[in-house]
Structure 1
Amino acid sequence: MRDEPAPADTGGTQAVARALSLLSLVGRGGAQGLGLSQLAAASGLARPTARRLLLALGAARLVEQDRATRRYHLGPETYLLAGFAAERHGIVHHARDAMLRLARETGDTVLLTVPQDDHTLCLERIEGDFPVRTHALMRGDRKPAGVGAGALAILAALPEAEAAALLARVAPLVGDLMPDLRADLAMARERGHALNPGRIVAGSWGLGVAIRWPDGRPAGALSIAAVEHRMTPARQAELAALLHREAALIAARLADPDTERTTP
């Protein structure tokens, strides 16, 4: 007996999609939180609709409203859900040792980025002990595909046709940066690592290497961010070698989580 398709539920599905969009926006509001007007504007929803959905999310303990500021923050249930998801989507778990080693050896900021639809998301940031740091990318930041060293490394790890289609989709978000991005992408494919020579924030450079699943698809990217004078050509080569070493170790753990951790 064949299963019949589920009946369409346009209204309910739309409400769920809107609520999840608001939840994502609240999460990206950071420690300061976001007000109702900001959330309504960012989501494109009318204020009464946004408020009704936020009340529903609050009842589920997924969001909460600060009594003093009236701003919305993630609720305690999201913390629990994140913990449950960590074992399945645990690239941060597998990458943490590598990131700590890189931060210790280089003194610079180490970032872990993963693909997310037509964007990339910074999952983790670990800072080294060099006193001058770049803050162009923070944990939780979401950027269009190809924007930043880690994002560019992920893009370069895709088949050329797929990468070209992805660039075409994000072109309206990238704007005048597109010609430079295409040139940087070609260079990343040639070199095997991506370089962001201060494209987004002047003086803030980054170098990234893709982390691959066993089938070769990019699972994410490790990148090192530093101020421009710490990214000389000679040091770029040193950093790229370190990133390749650690990306390979993370890829091995993703392929076989039982792989023993290695401390180079």
Structure 2
Amino acid sequence: MRTTSGVPGTQIIRRITVLLRLLGAHNRHGARLTELCRDAGLERSTVHRILQGLAAEGMVMQDHKSKRYFLGQAVYELGLAAAPKVQLRDIAQPFLMAVAEQTGDTVFLSERAGFDGVCLDRKEGGFPIKAFVLEPGKRRPLSVGCGNLSMLSALPDDEVARICLANASRMAEKYPRITPEVLRSRISVTRQQGYAHTEVVETVGVSSIAVCVRDENKMPVAAISVSSVSYRLEGQRVFEALAFLQHAVREIEALMPNVAGSRFTIR
């Protein structure tokens, strides 16, 4: 479980936040109590007590047949209240759909959230073999995933070092194959190419290509990626998919000043 600075009295807040994020990442099919305990690194009794409290407030609900937990209606209501008038997802949606139609593959929109990247949206192309490597709401360290890599590589070296240090323990525990040396190499290649192209960590035989979206200050705030079975992202087809991605990114960046969420500093 990721930890933050040791401010007195905030342990329960961190635990609740971790559980809500885990539920968000698995909300399509729900999550079992044992899965939440494992992924949060917390005792069963602690997780059960927190979930019961959240359920009483409408933040969490449980399917009594499957015993799986889901986000509750109150979370949706808070999300509506917090949403800016114009959201990145709304602006990007037609361009994501266009790339999905042009490539036939699965397209993802991810956004930077501090030391992490969060999947905001996913669009499916017509190719029968789907690469569902991310669910909307899935949160991963910026060091993991093609879209995240494209954002991380576009940051200054000191910011990259700060993010990698903050994520070091999570990376060693959950993604040991992505060593600091491997990550440095990937960042170097991505910077040289101007785009990210990697194999998907969690799914064998699937690859992704990604281009970051920059704000008016040229800082990376999001990324669009295409994922497919690896043989569909080789040779000339890489450059065809890249051209579609780059066009979509240019169109989104032209509309970025209208996104209200960009007024907040990412820490």
CA contact (8 A) 2:87 2:259 kept: no
CA contact (8 A) 1:148 1:200 kept: no
Give how far 1:61 is off.
Answer: 0.7
Distance in 1 separating the partners of 2:105 and 2:32? 35
Q: Structure 1 residues 37, 188: closer, same or farther in 2, change over 3 A?
A: closer
Distance in 2 separating the partners of 1:222 and 1:134? 15
Alignment-derived partner of residue 118 in structure 1: 115
Alignment-derived partner of residue 228 in structure 1: 230
Where in structure 2 are there 5+ consecutive unaligned residues?
Answer: 1-6, 261-267
After the TM superposition, which residues 58-97 of structure 1 pair with which residues of structure 2 at under 5 Å, given as runs?
58-87=55-84, 90-97=87-94
- Give the count of matched residue pairs: 249
* Further displaced range: 24-33 or 186-195: 24-33
Give how far 1:206 is off.
Answer: 0.8
Identical-pair percentage? 32
Alignment-derived partner of residue 258 in structure 2: 256
SS at match of 1:187: helix
Q: Structure 1 residues 159, 46: closer, same or farther in 2, change over 3 A?
A: same
Alignment-derived partner of residue 261 in structure 1: none
CA contact (8 A) 1:193 1:209 kept: yes
Query: Match of 1:18, as an amino acid?
Result: R
CA contact (8 A) 1:203 1:228 kept: yes
Distance in 2 separating the partners of 1:177 and 1:63? 33
Q: Relative contact order, CA 8 A, sep 6+: which one is greater?
A: 2
Alignment-derived partner of residue 106 in structure 2: 109
Give how far 1:75 is off.
Answer: 0.9
After the TM superposition, which residues 1-264 of structure 1 pair with which residues of structure 2 at under 5 Å, given as runs?
10-11=8-9, 13-87=10-84, 90-172=87-169, 173=171, 174-178=175-179, 179-198=181-200, 200-256=202-258
CA contact (8 A) 1:122 1:142 kept: yes
Distance in 1 separating the partners of 2:51 and 2:86? 27
SS at match of 2:132: coil
Distance in 2 separating the partners of 1:207 and 1:130? 17
Q: Structure 1 residues 180, 14: closer, same or farther in 2, change over 3 A?
A: closer
Pick the structure with greater CA Rg: 1
Give how far 1:200 is off.
Answer: 4.8
* Further displaced range: 248-257 or 193-202: 193-202
